[in-house]
C-alpha cells in the first residue's frame, strides 16, 4: 500500500512496471500502447556496495506517475484541445502476451559473471513484481 506522502506532487498513478533512473518524464503506456500517464519517480532505497564503494538506487516499491487526466484537465484550463482521447478500457492480456513480457523482463541472466548485491536485489524485485515470490527470495 502506498502512503499519502508518496502520492503528493500529482503522483496519483501507481503501477508496477519496472523503471530505471533517467525514465522520468517518459510515457506510461497501457497494454495497447496508449499513453495513460507520465512517469515521475520510483519508490526505492539507496544501497552502497562495500566492495566497490558505489551507490545505487534499488527499486523496491512501485513506480509513480502523473495520470494523463491531470494533463487533460490542465489543457482545458489553458484553452487547448487534446488531439485524440480514447476512453475504452484496456483488454486483459492473453497468456502469450503475459509470457512474452515475462521473458523480456527475465532475459538477463544475473547468475553469470560478476553480479553485485544490488543487481541481485533488483532481480528479486523483478521476480516479486511478476508474483514469482519463491524465486524472489
Residue 17 in grid coordinates: 512496471
Number of domains composing the chain:
1
Tell me the residue range of the domain where 44 lies.
Answer: 5-136
Can you give the pTM of this predicted structure?
0.63
User: To 5 degrees, how large is the angle CA 1–CA 123–CA 11?
Assistant: 35
81-123 tens-digit pLDDT = 766 777 788 888 889 988 888 888 777 777 767 777 777 777 8
Q: How confident is the model at residue 50 (pLDDT cuts 50, 70, 90)?
A: low
Q: Are strands 35-49 and 54-67 parallel, antiparallel or unpaired?
A: antiparallel
- Please tell me the predicted confidence (pLDDT) of residue 65: 92
For 26, phi then psi, to 5°, come to -85, 165
Amino acid at each position: 500500500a502506498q502512503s499519502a506522502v508518496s502520492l503528493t506532487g500529482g503522483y496519483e498513478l501507481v503501477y508496477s512496471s519496472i523503471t530505471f533512473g533517467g525514465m522520468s518524464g517518459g510515457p506510461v503506456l497501457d497494454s495497447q500502447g496508449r499513453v495513460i500517464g507520465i512517469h515521475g519517480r520510483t519508490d526505492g532505497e539507496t544501497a552502497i556496495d562495500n566492495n566497490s564503494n558505489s551507490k545505487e538506487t534499488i527499486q523496491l516499491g512501485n513506480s509513480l506517475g502523473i495520470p494523463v487526466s491531470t494533463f487533460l484537465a490542465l489543457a482545458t484550463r489553458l484553452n487547448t484541445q487534446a488531439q485524440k482521447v480514447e476512453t475504452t478500457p484496456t483488454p486483459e492480456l492473453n497468456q502469450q502476451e503475459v509470457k512474452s513480457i515475462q521473458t523480456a523482463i527475465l532475459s538477463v541472466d544475473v547468475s553469470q559473471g560478476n553480479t553485485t548485491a544490488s543487481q541481485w536485489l533488483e532481480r528479486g524485485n523483478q521476480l516479486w513484481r511478476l508474483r514469482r515470490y519463491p524465486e524472489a527470495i
